[in-house]
Amino acid sequence: MGTFLNNFFHIHERNSSIKTEIIAGVTTFATMAYILAVNGQILSDAGLDQGAVIVATALGSVVGTIAMGLLANMPFALAPGMGLNAFFAYTVVLQMGYSPSFALAAVLLEGLLFIILSATKIRTKIFNAIPLTLKYAVGGGVGLFIIFIGMQNSGIVQADSATLVKFGSLSNPGVAIALIGLAITIVLLCKNVKGALLLGICAAWLIGVLAQITGLYQVDIDAGRFSLIPSAVVSAPPSLSPTLGLCFKGLGDAFSSAQNLMNFLVVMLSFLFVDIFDTIGCLGGVAIKANMLDDKGELPNSEKALLADAIGTTAGAILGTSTVTTYLESAAGVGEGGRTGMTSIVVSIFFLLSLFFSPLFLSIPSFATATALMAVGIFMLEPIKHVDLTQLDELIPTSITLITMPLFYSISYGLIFGTLAYIITKCAAGKRECISPLIWVLGVVFVLKLIFLG
């Protein structure tokens, strides 16, 4: 079996091992398992059955991640994207007043268009056209974004009416334990301990369990503090029937009138735009961390990775969940040494198991997984060293890309403003030859997007 896996995934060729790939897969899953509960909650606000959404989330993640592992042989995991699920629930359904089936139909059509764009290699050409400077900047920006997400999930960063964000309080046990877990993780990483990220997650979870037992951690569901001790180990998954195939009903609603069709196209294009550039940014950032780019700064088999993403989106819509996309948390597995599709297969196995062991997986607190996200984010800043920051036309677009991703809470906006800054600075520096025709096209598209879609 070991020989087969090594030959199929080219594990040794990528300086990895079966053990490393397994640890990487478990680590990636641990950092993104939260999506099962969070996506169910968000889409239930839109009127979808919460239990069915959790099953659809798990199965959609399985389909997309298996496709990534088998088609592209890359260590990336997929799941319904945060931000896209909020747009689905709170904008399309609750604000615009369309049915959940209408929104699912938009996701379905987006996925089908993605398959076409991937098959024609249009998305690959966009990815390859992005200058290497911006790819390095995106890698660092994704790192800062991951750090911010980890700090937010653990309560280290909190909202503030005056300053927008502030440091949380150590009186919050989640904050204190997350910082302790981060310290443990950093020490393990510096000591080159194998599985440091996963061990850090487990250490923080164990400290949390001890804190709950001793009364230092109080369960308060209204405050978002759930029990860290699983109520059970095994449970039967809910029925998928309330959401399965609901998207096809939405297609009928979308084509019922000219106005509905126009609104449907706007919604679908919004999903499409965000997913395209979120995926490109995520793939680029994590691939740089894994040293997977070739001498030209291109990602081998990127068209297969993008196709896997499109397959995940289409399958997710049919199952009954919002856009399935490549996850930033894949960087956690890459940080553990995951370099092949075997990491993705391990992640998909755990998502499948989560249908039956959900009480166990859902008891892993966000402050525990935040330790891995923050540690990985720090190390993802490393590629910035390849950018010549002594040149303004390199420094400015890099800096803008770095800062806008976490501040705007969006990979897409980081890529948009970084690209526009790149065009402006290269023109000002008299280096227009550095701007490819496709980057000029993207610049126009980005401006139009900011003007008309926000």
- Could you tell me the pLDDT band of residue 69, with boundaries at 50, 70 and 90? very high
Q: What is the pLDDT of residue 227?
A: 87
Cα gap 451→370, rounded to integer Å: 35
What are 333-365's pLDDT values in tens digits? 999 999 999 999 999 999 999 999 888 877 888
Question: In angstroms, how far is the first alpha carbon of the chain from the final one?
Answer: 51
Handedness of CA 101, 122, 401, 140 (dihedral sign): positive
What are 203-216's pLDDT values in tens digits? 999 999 999 999 99
Cα gap 439→454, rounded to integer Å: 20
* pTM exceeds 0.85, yes or no: no
What are 266-302's pLDDT values in tens digits? 888 878 877 888 888 888 888 887 888 887 778 888 8
Q: What is the pLDDT of residue 292?
A: 86
Q: What is the pLDDT of residue 355?
A: 92
For the chain, the domains span 2-387, 388-454
